[in-house]
């Protein structure tokens, strides 16, 4: 009586088995990495209040929060990244994380702050960080009357409102504005020339 030789397992069967095992291992590893990454947090700065464009960035205006940012963690400032001379390159909202793109060097800034007197008061919704237009009515030399209003500076941000009461004021109101340095001379000339100045929120009429 003769015995049949044992059939060999097909080579491709072994390969498919090994590939299946490798895929299972990779899947488990991927899930583990994903969970581990989600658990990793980074300390970053979060604004404690609305910070207007051009304001100096100081630690007292921020709190440190632990957040999971993953691959974009380097795009936000940690406490040790905040150094003297930094200013806000744009308005930062209360509670917003501080991205590196929202900071600038004070020495290279193209803006400065100027206090103007708005002759018509301020709407209640105007506050720190509000984008506005600065309008003016020049004083005519021939009759001492004010000329038609026109835009004096269009890309302006409110830095602060001294003694603002949040109501639509009936009298004039002092407002600190962030203005492009190229427009400062025209603004100062309008002030010294006795023009009537008005703060108009973007989207509003004159």
- Token match 């080579």: residue? 11
Q: Where do the structural domains in the chain lie, given as residue ranges?
A: 42-107, 110-201
Fold of 42-107: Type Iii Antifreeze Protein Isoform Hplc 12 (3.90.1210)
Instruction: Give the residue, 155 or 48, on which the prediction is more confident.
Output: 48
Confidence of residue 107 (pLDDT cuts 50, 70, 90): confident
Tokens linked to 18: 């090994």
Q: How large a percentage of the chain has pLDDT more than 90?
A: 47
Determine the Cα–Cα distance for residues 37 and 137; give it in Å rounded to an integer.
Answer: 59
Instruction: Give the residue, 126 or 34, on which the prediction is more confident.
Output: 126
Task: Note the pTM of the prediction, 2 decimals.
Answer: 0.66
Question: Is pLDDT of 128 > 80?
Answer: yes
Residue 76: how many CB atoms within 10 A of its CB? 20
Q: How many residues does the chain have?
A: 206
- Residue range 179-195, pLDDT digits in tens: 999 999 999 999 999 99
């Amino acid at each position: 009586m003769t015995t049949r030789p044992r059939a060999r397992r097909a080579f491709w069967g072994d390969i498919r088995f090994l590939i299946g095992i490798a895929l299972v291992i990779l899947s488990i590893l991927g899930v583990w990495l994903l969970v581990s990454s989600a658990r990793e947090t980074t300390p970053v700065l979060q604004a404690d209040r609305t910070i207007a464009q051009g304001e100096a960035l100081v630690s007292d205006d921020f709190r440190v929060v632990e957040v999971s940012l993953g691959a974009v963690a380097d795009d936000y400032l940690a406490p040790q990244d905040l150094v003297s001379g930094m200013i806000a390159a744009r308005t930062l909202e209360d509670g917003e994380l501080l991205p590196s793109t929202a900071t600038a060097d004070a020495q290279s800034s193209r803006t400065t702050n100027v206090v103007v007197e708005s002759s018509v008061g301020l709407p209640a919704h105007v506050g720190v960080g509000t984008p506005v237009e600065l309008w003016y009515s020049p004083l005519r030399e021939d009759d001492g009357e004010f000329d038609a209003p026109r835009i004096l500076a269009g890309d302006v941000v409110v830095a602060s409102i001294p003694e603002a009461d949040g109501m639509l004021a009936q009298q004039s109101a002092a407002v600190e504005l962030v203005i492009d340095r190229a427009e400062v001379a025209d603004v100062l000339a309008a002030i010294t020339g006795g023009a009537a100045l008005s703060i108009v929120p973007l989207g509003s009429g004159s």
